[in-house]
Amino acid sequence: MTNQTEKFKALVSDKKSGWLDKAKYRQENQDWLDISFGIAIKILSTLRTNKKKGLSPKNQNELAIALDCTPQYISKLLKGTEKLNIETISKIQKALAVKIIDNSIIKHQEEIVVKNEAKYIKQKTTQNNYTKADNVITFNFASNKLSASSNDYREAINE
C-alpha cells in the first residue's frame, strides 16, 4: 500500500455517520423546523438589538435567567431545531418584548363569532342553519333581524 492509501484508511471510520437518518428526519419535519429556525433568528436578532441599545436581556445568559431555564436550553433554541410549545413561545415573547406569533388572526376570529352571536338570530324554520362535520361548524346567519339574546351558535358548539 502506498503512503496516501494508509493515511486515507486511518481517517476512515467503520462507524456509520447517520447522515441519511438525519437527512430523512429533516425532510419529514421540515415545516416545524423552518418555524423553529425562524424563531431562533428572531431571538438572535432581538438579543443583538438589545445589546446595541443596552437593554436586557442582551445575551443568552440573561435570556436564560428571564425564561428561568438553563443556558444550554437557550443554546438548543438558537440552533433552530428545538420543538417549541405555545407556552415557551409566549415566555420568549414576554422576555424579549417582541411578537413571534401574531395574535390578530385569533382576535379577528373571536370578534366575528361574538359579533355574529350577538347580532343575528337564525331564521324560524324547521331546518338547522348549521352543519357540524369533523368538529367544524358551518353556521348560516341568514336573518336580517337583530337580537342580543341569540344562543344558536353556543347550542351548535355544545352539540
Q: Within a domain: residue 80?
A: yes
**Together in a domain, 120 and 69:** no
- Residue 13, domain member (yes or no): no
Phi, psi of 25 (to 5 degrees): -60, -45
Span 142-151, average pLDDT: 46
Q: What is the CATH number for 80?
A: 1.10.260.40
- pLDDT of 7 > 80? The answer is yes
**99 within 8 A of 93, measured Cβ to Cβ:** yes
| Number of domain units in the chain | 2
DSSP code per residue over 86-127: HHHHHHHHHHHT--SS-THHHHHHHHHHHHHHHHB---SSSS
Same domain, 67 and 126: no
24 and 92, same domain (yes or no): yes
On the question of pLDDT at 39 being above 50, the answer is yes
Asked whether residue 86 falls in the same domain as residue 22, the answer is: yes
In a domain, residue 7? The reply is no
Range of the domain at 92: 18-96
Residue 98 CA, distance from chain mean position: 14
Residues 78 and 112 in one domain: no
Lowest mean pLDDT among 17-21, 34-38, 105-109: 105-109
Residues 77, 116 within the same domain:
no
Domain identity same for 75 and 117: no
Where a domain ends, among 79, 96, 113?
96
pLDDT over threshold 90, residue 15: no
The pLDDT tens digits for 61-88 are: 999 999 999 999 999 999 999 999 999 9
More confident call, 118 vs 83: 83
Q: What is the mean pLDDT of residues 39-44?
A: 95
Identify whether residues 122 and 90 lie together within a single domain: no
Res. 121 pLDDT band, cuts 50 70 90: very low
Do residues 42 and 109 share a domain? no
- Does 83 lie in the same domain as 24? yes
Can you tell me the mean pLDDT for 90-101? 93
Phi-psi region of 55 (alpha: psi -120 to 50; beta: other; left: phi over 0): beta
Domain boundary among 96, 120, 149: 96
Claim to verify: residue 25 and residue 87 sit in the same structural domain: yes
